[in-house]
A and B are shown apart, each in its own frame.
Chain A
């Protein structure tokens, strides 16, 4: 079954304590990205990766890091979380070829609260 798997699904953490949200896909997709969802703002892209070792900033990258050492994995790293990073996070993946109508697959989301 085609899947994008995120962990953890729910996390409450304290300001400044480094955390990593993992993302893994089993579809051999080249393109992966992270979004955050906030009320009234929709989803906004944080970082994306077009392939292994190729990453770039999205619209709201401040306070986040990513890495793409393997094709299937794209972890999101919060080096020093702050309360304004409390949000619902989604990982997504898609193949690079085939046209813009290709389906983009989303994970189930990770609820992160920073206190």
Chain B
């Protein structure tokens, strides 16, 4: 079945540092890929998405590129802020059938940014 693997956390950075959170996936067909963010005490927010190979999703300075050849969707940001401290989830959505509406999530990566 489908699966998503995220880099082990937690990740601790200083403000203005470069961020990479690795995400790889296993799926049949052509899934859509997502990054969700969960700020402390809050629900899930969609951060960005990509629906086909080589697509780049971007939002709030974050970027991720759908790499089918390496089955990866790594999240990057050039300069993190304290306000980016949150839990980040990589997820995929299957292309059809009963998996259509289902998101398969990675285990989440806790990011803490210090001033």
Which residues of B lie under 8 Å from residue A100 when comparing CB positions? Answer: 31-32, 51, 93-96, 100
* Number of A-B residue pairs at CB separation under 8 A: 64
Q: A11-19, A41-49, A79-87: which one contacts chain B?
A: A41-49
User: Which size class do A's interface residues fall under?
Assistant: 20 to 34
Q: Check if B103 sits within 8 Å of A96, measured CB to CB.
A: no
Question: Distance in Å from the Cβ of B56 to the closest Cβ of chain A?
Answer: 14
A33 within 8 A of B: yes
Which residues of A lie under 8 Å from residue B108 when comparing CB positions? Answer: 40, 42
Judged by DSSP, the binding face of B is loop
Give B92's nearest chain A residue, CB to CB. Answer: A100
Which residues of B lie under 8 Å from residue A48 when comparing CB positions? Answer: 98, 101-102
Question: Distance in Å from the Cβ of A30 to the closest Cβ of chain B?
Answer: 8
Which residues of A lie under 8 Å from residue B100 when comparing CB positions? Answer: 31, 96, 100
User: Which size class do B's interface residues fall under?
Assistant: 20 to 34
Q: B13-21, B41-49, B75-83: which one contacts chain A?
A: B41-49
CA distance A101 to B52 in the complex (A): 9
CA distance A94 to B49 in the complex (A): 15
Q: Check if B98 sits within 8 Å of A106, measured CB to CB.
A: no
Question: Distance in Å from the Cβ of A111 to the closest Cβ of chain B?
Answer: 10
Binary per-residue interface labels of chain B (16-42) against chain A in the complex, 1 for a CB within 8 Å, 0 otherwise: 000000000000000110000000001
State the A residues within 8 Å of B (CB). Answer: 31, 33, 35, 40-45, 48, 50, 56, 58, 90, 92, 94, 96, 99-101, 103-104, 106-109
State the B residues within 8 Å of A (CB). Answer: 4, 6, 31-32, 42-44, 46, 49, 51, 89, 91, 93-96, 98, 100-103, 105-108
